[in-house]
Amino acid sequence: MFGLNKIIPVEPNINFLGLRRNFLIFSILAMLISIVLLSIKGLNLGIDFKGGTLIEVSTKNTSIGELREILSSSYSDVSLQEFGNENIILIRLQNKSNQESIETVNSVKNLIQDKVVEFRRSEFVGPTISSELLFRGFQAVSFALIAILIYIWLRFEWQFGFGAVVALTHDVLFTLGLLSILNVEFSLATIAAILTIAGYSINDTVVIFDRVRENLRKYKKLELVDLFNLSVNNTLSRTIMTSLTTLLALVSLFIFGGEVIRPFALTMIIGVIIGTYSSVFIAVPTLLIFKFRPQDEDD
Amino acid sequence: MKNYPIWKSFTVISLVLLGIIFAIPSIIYDENSKNWFLKNKINLGLDLQGGSYLLLEVQLDVLYKEELDNFVDSVRLISRDQAAKIEKIDIQENEVVVFFTNIEKIKDIRDSFFQMYRGVSLQISNNRLSIKLNDEYRKIIQDSAIKQSLEIVRKRIDESGTKEPLIQRSGKKRILLQLPGVKDPERIKDLLGKTAKLTFHIVDNENTSALQNNLAPFGKIIVSDMYDENTKYLLDKRAVVGGENLVDAKGSFDQTEGHAVSFRFDTEGAQKFGKVTTNNIGKNLAVVLDGVVITAPRINSAITGGSGIITGNFNAQEASDLAVLLRAGALPAPLEIVEERSVGAGLGADSIAAGQIAAIIGMVFVCIFMILIYGTFGALANVSLIVNLFIIISLLGTIGATLTLPGIAGIVLTIGMAVDANVLIFERIKEESLKQTKVFHIVKNGFDRAMSTILDANITTLIAAVLLFAFGSGPIRGFSITLSLGVIASMFTALMLTNFLVYMYLSFANKKELTL
């Protein structure tokens, strides 16, 4: 039997908690920057949430410039983008009313009919729907966070729940901040990605918390910092392994899964990395705020 | 095979076999199979097989407005009967306020009105009678409008020859349409874009001043011509007979008139039509469709047979489309398209291919990685992982779930996350192996200790997935379905299948010590 897992020591002894101040400062800064970015630059909202029209076409011997020229003579707010390769072009238009956009799709199709091999997809989201979708997305994320917290609170002591909230808020904010910097399109799929990240991050946190709880019973004399450090070290190889296998699958999805799914895969990759980081460096240190044992009062 | 209960082995093996067998229909994927077993395959979402999704909103405001107009007409009629004089009528967003010159008859008028429209709120103050469209009344209008619209939309879609459409109510005032295989929904949108309200009215040719002043007297309306907006007709407001009395309509060709629509009335319609044409010979009869006059021929003789033709400047397609609309009946209110997503079959096929490649490559990566790290145990976990994939596919097929592009993403993600439970177990076994020497003790403790962690960790992911299903829409739901099934399947494969495999391996290899 061969197994590279022997490289990772069975009981590693890395002083994660010793570095907590540095990471805390880093994370607080990252969250602040994210908030500033979200309020100034905002997210690159896709048509799901902004409303509008999107048409994907595949062309033959036509450059994106030619198409742009044809369309921009009729529409002032049209934007074109190559999608995956130079023969596939994404056309986006902003429309004010439902009726207008239906006419727009038809007239755009007529204008470029002879340059196009195939209309691969067309999407139109009206203004009422887009605001509804945004609201429902927000609702889904909030309810999911609350439900997860209730579960943690029932299964663990409330202090753990607090640690989990801090870590989750951190993950969501940080991820959104990075999406804003990278200008990744924010769509319905992104909401799904964020919820999955929340689930994943909590999953990671729960595994470590589980060990903290077990060790709290097992080592009654150990100082809390050392106990937390031990718990993180105990679960370290699992944390790394699971993150790596998940990332392997996601990278494969990012590279081979096609253009439509790429923003989703990217969001997930960012989220899994942040979620893993926060479980170790944010969720666990947060528990230090609380005095789990009477004898730790002078800690 | 030390102490491994036979019933447990049996359960594990049969579940695994079931998982593999029921994945077969989805893997073969015979689209038109009649075989009961092969029918248990995954449904592909519109984004994978190509097709159109439309969300239509019933314009209820139009109906409310219509009802307020009806109120006004009724109040005028009642007041005329009671010889009460109306000073003015004020139509607001939700109510009609009628001002009377004197207040004597106002209570009687209110009571008569209430006889006609039960459920509206009526209020009198001084010389004012206000008639309010309250929430209950609106809800009645809304519900019946949606029900009727659904029925009409279904008929129109059926007439258009679309295969396996899904038509359902969505929320309070919307209708959701899924049209697989329809790549270009323009014709469908045209068919749904018309209310197709057909009515026949007697034309008033005597009162020419009304047309000149563009002011219709009570009981009359002014309607433009379909082909020339400046040509106006003064019509009796009350329709002689309407499209609801039609039993059939067909596109036809008339030697002298060109393309036309021939129609036939039911008994009631035929009687009404016969009576009116008998009494109005010499007058014109206007055919009004959605508020415009298509044609207004002179009534030369009584038409008692209950059938006729409508002529206009139609071409063949227009005539047959109009016939479709008339056969299906009129929508109670206009429909507005508020969301549309159409995917061509090409993009759908590309997405499936890309999803398959991503899943296979992701799987290979994860498997290699597991073997590199855990050796033989990694290989056992890989068996579980592959079975896990089969189980997800067979569950999707047997519950008839719809696989979407985000759903494929969910499967790929599951491939990465499903090994987590195995990893948790192996890491525990590794720890236990430092404390004990008895191989089976180590393994048993490893599994037992990992159990509660696995449950906690997976339940949180399930919570997120379930809420995503509850609040998500369309393709996103596909993601939450595959993710949930993946999580559930991975718990089974890790806690039962991996467990079984590890025991088998240890007993057959006759391991005396465990290094992991």
pLDDT for the residue B3: 67
pLDDT for the residue A297: 40
Contact between residue B457 and residue A206 where contact means Cβ atoms under 8 Å apart: yes
Helix axes B135-159, B60-82, angle to 10 degrees: 120
Chain B nearest-CA distance from A200, in A, is 6
Tell whether B480 lies on the interface with A, counting CB pairs under 8 A.
yes
Are residues B427 and A235, on separate chains, in Cβ contact within 8 Å?
A: yes
ipTM of the complex: 0.87
The C-alpha atoms of residue A232 and residue A13 are separated, in whole angstroms, by 9
- Arithmetic mean of pLDDT over chain A: 86
Count of alpha carbons within 13 Å of B62, Cβ hemisphere only? 13
Q: What is the mean pLDDT of residues A62-84?
A: 85
- Look up residue B79 and give its two tokens: 């007041």
Are residues B471 and A255, on separate chains, in Cβ contact within 8 Å?
A: no
Convert the pLDDT of each residue in B393-417 to its tens digit: 999 999 988 899 999 999 999 998 8
Q: Report the 3 state secondary structure along B383-433.
A: HHHHHHHHHHHHHHHHCCCEECHHHHHHHHHHHHHHHHHHHHHHHHHHHHH
Give chain A's domains with CATH numbers.
13-45+129-298 (1.20.1640.10), 52-125 (3.30.70.3400)
Q: What is the mean pLDDT of residues B212-223?
A: 86
pLDDT for the residue B26: 87
Convert the pLDDT of each residue in B60-108 to its tens digit: 988 898 889 888 888 888 888 888 888 888 888 888 999 988 888 888 8
Tell whether B57 lies on the interface with A, counting CB pairs under 8 A.
yes
The C-alpha atoms of residue B270 and residue B416 are separated, in whole angstroms, by 70
Q: Residue A241: which of B373, B462, B480 has the nearest Cβ?
A: B373
> From the candidates A56, A98, A165, A196, which should be mutated to test the interface with B, based on the most B CB atoms within 10 A?
A196
- Look up residue B14 and give its two tokens: 């049969």
Instruction: Name the CA dihedral angle for B492, B498, B501, B503, rounded to a multiple of 10 degrees.
Output: -100
Q: Residue B347: which of A121, A189, A234 has the nearest Cβ?
A: A121
The C-alpha atoms of residue A285 and residue A283 are separated, in whole angstroms, by 6
Decide if B61-138 and B195-339 have a common fold: no
Chain B nearest-CA distance from A233, in A, is 12
- Interfacial A residues in 189-228 facing B (CB < 8 Å): 189, 191-192, 195-196, 198-200, 202-204, 206-207, 210-211
Fold of the domain built from segment(s) B61-138: 3.30.1240
Q: What is the mean pLDDT of residues A248-267?
A: 94
pLDDT for the residue A25: 93
Percentage above 70 pLDDT, chain B = 99
- Interfacial B residues in 158-187 facing A (CB < 8 Å): 183-184, 186
Lowest mean per-residue pLDDT among B224-228, B388-392, B487-491: B224-228
Residue-range domain boundaries for chain B: 6-49+346-508, 61-138, 195-339
Are residues B463 and A4, on separate chains, in Cβ contact within 8 Å?
A: no
Please list, in sequence order, all residues whose beta carbon lies within 8 angstroms of the beta carbon of residue A62, skipping any fewer than 6 positions away.
A115, A116
The distance in angstroms from the start CA to the end CA of chain A is 45
Strands (E), B13-139: 43-44, 51-58, 86-91, 95-100, 121-125, 128-132
Chain A nearest-CA distance from B293, in A, is 23
Q: Is the pLDDT of residue B36 over 90?
A: no
Q: Residue B362: which of A119, A192, A249 has the nearest Cβ?
A: A249
User: Tell me, what DSSP letter sits at residue A113?
Assistant: G
Class of domain B6-49+346-508: mainly alpha
| Amino acid present at B361 | I
For the entire predicted model, the pTM comes to 0.83
Q: Is the pLDDT of residue A298 over 60?
A: no
- What count of CB pairs under 8 Å joins A to B? 250
Q: Which residues of A touch B464 (CB under 8 A)?
A: 144, 148, 195-196, 198-199, 202
The C-alpha atoms of residue A27 and residue A15 are separated, in whole angstroms, by 18
Are residues B417 and A106, on separate chains, in Cβ contact within 8 Å?
A: no
Q: Which residues of B touch A191 (CB under 8 A)?
A: 468, 472, 476
- The CATH code for residues B195-339 is 3.30.1360.200
A 10 A CB-CB count for A166 gives: 19
Closest chain B residue to A122, measured at CA: B342
The C-alpha atoms of residue A41 and residue B398 are separated, in whole angstroms, by 46
Q: What is the mean pLDDT of residues B269-285?
A: 90
pLDDT for the residue B379: 94
Convert the pLDDT of each residue in B145-193 to its tens digit: 999 999 999 988 888 778 889 999 988 899 999 999 886 678 788 888 8
Nearest to B457 by CA among A253, A249, A9, A238: A238
Tell whether A250 lies on the interface with B, counting CB pairs under 8 A.
yes
Q: What is the mean pLDDT of residues A17-34?
A: 92
Contact between residue A168 and residue A202 where contact means Cβ atoms under 8 Å apart: yes
Are residues A120 and B358, on separate chains, in Cβ contact within 8 Å?
A: no
Convert the pLDDT of each residue in B18-31 to its tens digit: 999 999 888 888 77
